[in-house]
Chain A
């Protein structure tokens, strides 16, 4: 088996997920939901947490089953496991966070097609120990969540003039009226909410990261 994966310690796995191999900024995996759902802090948080749950579950299953599955059906079983995990997460969200479920809409079931999830199960979790795989799922999911949050916060701020205004979708009625209002919604920059705004902001974030990397070397 892959000795490189076996040697990786916990700190390395975390660092990879959050920074060095960040799915949103470095591997550029799962861009479709990343760009589509990052219109507000609440929806970014919702999709990010759902993705973490799926990543951890699928990495766990891949870690447990990967070694004794025949190579012919390994990918198929992983796809099944991911689809099952996503469906379970979607059903739970429809039950307990209906508002958020409605906001995320089609992008929740589409986590199935997020290549990040299959890539981590196949290329990492199935070739290493179970705890490492689970930790990798957490780290990659958290890295994805961070980029989602950064995009969501900047788009909500520019487009709606608020931060976390619809967090009640996540927290229930207790969170209604919460969040920060920076300026009136009418002066919002519409571009930030439309798909091009997502591309431009992600591009700026990537440029910023590259500039910092170049300085460091």
Chain B
């Protein structure tokens, strides 16, 4: 064996490592270039998606502020269903608050937590409720989705006093709200979470409606 090929054998792992490192650097470079190009567009799409989601819960309510900008974060494990801080967006017309959009979690869905956006007007009446994420059974529990059934519309116009406390249940439990065929757990969890969100609003009304600092 001559010395040159012996050296070649010894250097081979180094060459391999060098090639791999070069490939890694090129790959990371290209990906971060694409990322830089796409970032403004990603942020714009994400904002548009969130505004559309909030506006859908508000329905026909008129407002003229930036919903995403007018936000506070609150935490209440008992009434909002999660120990993380959740956003509360406020809709205003001029300086007057017209609605508060609470994020509430129903922790006791059939398959895990159900996230809701609950819109309440300053008098504590529900403007609308939408499910923003869930993992309920398709065809049974997913009737809580607005595009699957109009069940979620049954909250609009309700408030803490309408129905009175015992009415805030599904019919099977003697309340005012329908359950679905084959799925009681899901609507039961949502009804409870919506009522809890209303209780939360009632207790913290002033700070929720306060003008942004």
Please list the residues of chain A having a beta carbon within 8 angstroms of any beta carbon in chain B: 65, 69-70, 72-73, 76-77, 80-81, 83-84, 87-88, 91-92, 94-96, 98, 102, 185, 190, 193-194
**Chain A CB within 10 Å — which of B27, B28, B35 has the most?**
B27
What are the residues of chain B within 8 A of A185 when measuring CB–CB?
148
- B41 CB within 8 Å of chain A: yes
Q: What's the least CB distance linking B182 to chain A, in Å?
A: 11
| CB-defined A-B contacts under 8 Å, sample of 29 | A69-B19, A70-B15, A70-B19, A72-B13, A72-B16, A73-B16, A73-B19, A73-B23, A77-B20, A81-B27, A83-B27, A84-B30, A84-B31, A87-B31, A91-B35, A94-B38, A94-B45, A95-B38, A95-B42, A95-B45, A96-B38, A96-B41, A98-B42, A98-B45, A98-B48, A98-B49, A102-B49, A185-B148, A194-B138
Residues of A within 8 A of B17 (CB): 73
Residues of A within 8 A of B19 (CB): 69-70, 73, 77
Assess A88 versus B45: contact at CB under 8 Å? Given A72-B16, A77-B20, A77-B23: no
Contacting pair A80 B27 (CB below 8 A): yes
Chain B 1-35 interface mask (CB, 8 Å, partner A; 1/0): 00000000000110111011001100110110011
Interface residues of B in 39-82 (CB under 8 A from A): 39, 41-42, 45-46, 48-49
Closest 4 CB pairs of A and B: A95-B41, A95-B38, A84-B27, A190-B139
* Residue pair B38, A92 in contact (C-beta under 8 Å): yes
Does B42 contact A81, Cβ atoms closer than 8 Å? no
Give the residue of B12, B23, B138 whose beta carbon is less than 8 angstroms from that of A193.
Answer: B138
Q: How far is the CA of A30 from the CA of B170 in the complex (A)?
A: 44
Query: How many Å lie between the Cα of A124 and that of B117 in the bound state?
Result: 51
Q: How far is B46's CA from A157's CA once the two chains are assembled, in angstroms?
A: 31
B15: chain A residues within 8 A (beta carbon)? 70
Q: Which residues of B contact A92 (CB under 8 A)?
A: 34, 38
A86 vs chain B, min Cβ distance (A): 10
Q: A-side binding surface: helix, strand, loop or mixed?
A: helix
A70 and B12 within 8 A (CB): yes
Minimum C-beta distance from B213 to chain A (A): 32
> From residue 114 to 149 of chain B, which have CB atoms closer than 8 A to chain A?
138-139, 148
- Chain B residue numbers with a CB within 8 Å of A72 are 12-13, 16
- The answer, among B34, B39, B42, for a CB contact under 8 Å with A88, is B34
User: Given A73-B19, A76-B20 in contact, is the A94-B27 Cβ separation under 8 Å?
Assistant: no
Find out whether the CB atom of B38 lies under 8 angstroms from the CB atom of A91: yes
**Nearest CB in chain B: distance from A165 CB, A:** 11
A174 to B160, CA, bound (A): 42
Using Cβ atoms and an 8 Å threshold, which residues of chain A touch B12? 70, 72
Q: How far is the CB of A198 from chain B (nearest CB, A)?
A: 13
- Chain A residues whose CB sits within 8 angstroms of the CB of B27 once the complex forms: 80-81, 83-84
A94 touches B42 (CB 8 A): yes
* Whole-angstrom distance between the Cβ of A56 and the nearest chain B Cβ: 15
Measured between beta carbons, the chain B residues less than 8 angstroms from A98 are 42, 45-46, 48-49
Docked-complex contact B42 and A91, CB < 8 angstroms: yes
In Å, the complex CA distance between A63 and B28 comes to 20
